[in-house]
Amino acid sequence: MTSQRFYVLLNENSGTAHALGVTRETLGELFEKNGLDARIDADCSRSMDERIADAVSSDAEIVVAAGGDGTITALAGALVGSEKHLAILPLGTFNAVAKDLHLPLDLPGAVAALTHPSSQRIDVADVNGRVFLQKVVIGLIPSLAAGREHLRGRETLPVKIAFMRFLFRRLARARRLAVVIDPSDGERRVERIQALAVACNAYDEGLGKFFARESLDRGTLTLYILKHLRARDFFRLATGMMLGRWRDHEALSMESIQQITIDTRKPLIKVMFDGEIETFQTPLTFTIRPKALSVIVPAEVSAETETVVAA
């Protein structure tokens, strides 16, 4: 058992938490069952900024994000540069960061893993001063994702058919976006793109590795550019990702960078920011911050990566 103190920020509205009916009481019982000293904040009537500020200023050594990727990213941004560790209870729809860290994806297993916490330092990236852990995407993809969000929770057959119609119409009518790409260690250039992503580190290729990263501490950004995305490109890319062979798609290019600025003719642009649709001012300036965040991982993962056991 561990004598450390935990401050848990629970987002009861996140995908899995809502579906499973996870509450402050049920989560508290899990921590108590595992002999863990935890203060649980489940007060969704307050703003997330206020709740995060309380978590960071608490005397807990480990701050726990109990929610989806949006909750995790927001809390990570506040913990960068602090002496506190970030732990994750994966209660979102995709749980991408938890999967990359090889965390248990079931709630009882994730809480039990905190009884022997080990820490690992990982990279974070930022765009215009906002920290992210996965990727920022501009172009066609955010508009498709926004359309999908409108249908969340209504998974009937007619709704799915309506979304497929929307998808094909958007792909058929999509226009390429002119962007100015200015990497710190390369030539400034203008490209016409259908979608562009800047990722913290790089996504791996291989069977079953669907948007998965084996290493989170390579200290680089990766720029992905999709020059066209017709219907056949969409299905070829999706199939390639499932089979683990997507990097050789002729419409896709990628490059490793340390810092980059992306600009458009528009003063504001919609982006997918770690899975959430947000509006940002342009230009977008991206940087990498190597090993700037300490995260809690299972002991076996810590041993493999030679990380330090949290004191």
Residue 209: HSE in the Cβ half-sphere, 13 Å Cα cutoff: 16
Give domain status of residue 122, yes or no: no
Give the range of the structural domain holding residue 192, as residue numbers without chain letter.
131-290
Q: Is residue 297 part of a domain?
A: no
Task: Categorize the per-residue pLDDT at 29 as very low, low, confident or very high, splitting at 50, 70 and 90.
Answer: very high
Residue 49 has pLDDT above 70, yes or no: yes
Q: Indicate if 144 and 254 belong to the same structural domain.
A: yes
Stretch 93-118: mean pLDDT, rounded? 93
Query: Following DSSP, what letter does each residue of 80-148 receive, concatenated?
Result: TTSS-EEEEEE-SSS-HHHHHTT--SSHHHHHHGGGS-EEEEEEEEEETTEEESSEEEEEHHHHHHHHH
Mean local confidence (pLDDT), 247-260: 83
DSSP 150: T
Q: Does residue 162 sit within a domain?
A: yes
* 285 has a pLDDT exceeding 80: yes
Tokens matching residue 279: 């509006």
The verdict on 103 and 152 lying in the same domain is no
Q: What is the pLDDT of residue 251?
A: 73
pLDDT at 90: 93
Cβ neighbors of 46 (< 8 A, separation 6 or more) are none
Q: What is the pLDDT of residue 100?
A: 94
In a domain, 41, yes or no: yes
- Cβ-contact 101, 90 below 8 angstroms: no
**Weakest mean pLDDT among 149-153, 272-276, 281-285, 289-293:** 149-153
56, 90, 116 — which closes off a domain? 116
If asked whether residues 11 and 88 sit together in one domain, one would say: yes
Residues 54 and 111 in one domain: yes
Distance of CA 22 to the CA centre of its chain: 22
End of a domain among 81, 116, 151?
116
Most confidently predicted of 3-12, 69-78, 154-163: 69-78
Lowest average pLDDT, out of 3-12, 137-146, 213-222, 269-278, goes to 137-146
Block residue for tokens 């993809």: 141
Percent of the residues in the chain that have a pLDDT greater than 70, as a whole number: 76
Between 164-178, 232-246, 278-292, the lowest mean confidence (pLDDT) is in 232-246
Report how far residue 21's alpha carbon sits from residue 100's, in angstroms, rounded to the nearest whole number.
Answer: 25
pLDDT at 304 over 90: no
Which range has the worst mean pLDDT, 42-51, 142-151, 210-219?
142-151
Same domain, yes or no: 230 and 182 = yes
* 157 in the same domain as 67: no
CATH number of the domain where residue 71 is located = 3.40.50.10330
- Whether 176 maps to a domain, the answer reads yes
| Same domain (yes/no): 85, 228 | no
Give me the pLDDT at residue 311, please. Answer: 41
Mean pLDDT of the chain: 85
Region 257-264: mean pLDDT is: 97
Q: What is the CATH number of the domain that holds 247?
A: 2.60.200.40
Closest CA to 55 of 47, 45, 64, 46: 64
In the chain, % helix, strand, coil (3-state, to 5) comes to 30, 35, 35
Say if CB 120 and CB 294 are below 8 A apart: yes
Residues 95, 145 share a domain: no
**Would you put residue 285 in left (φ > 0), alpha (ψ -120 to 50) or beta?**
beta
Residues 69 and 19 in one domain: yes
245 within domain boundaries: yes
Q: Count of CB atoms within 10 A of residue 151's CB? A: 14
For residue 299, what pLDDT is reported? 76
291 versus 21: which is more confidently predicted?
A: 291
Residues 135, 111, single domain; the answer is no
pLDDT at 203 exceeding the cut of 60: yes
Per the structure, how many domains does the chain have? Answer: 2
Residue 299 lies in a domain: no
Q: Residue 2 CA to chain centroid, in angstroms?
A: 28
Give φ, ψ of 305 to 5 degrees. Answer: -105, 5
Answer for the pair 167, 141: CB distance below 8 angstroms, yes or no: no
Same domain? 186 vs 161: yes
8 A C-beta contact, residue 130 and residue 77: yes
Verify that 109 and 195 share a domain, yes or no: no
Q: Is residue 79 part of a domain?
A: yes
The angle at the Cα of 240, spanning 236 to 245, to the nearest 5 degrees, equals 140
* pLDDT tens digits along 121-171: 999 999 999 999 999 999 877 766 655 555 555 566 675 666 566 555 665
CA angle, 212 as apex, 208 and 213 as ends, to 5°?
135
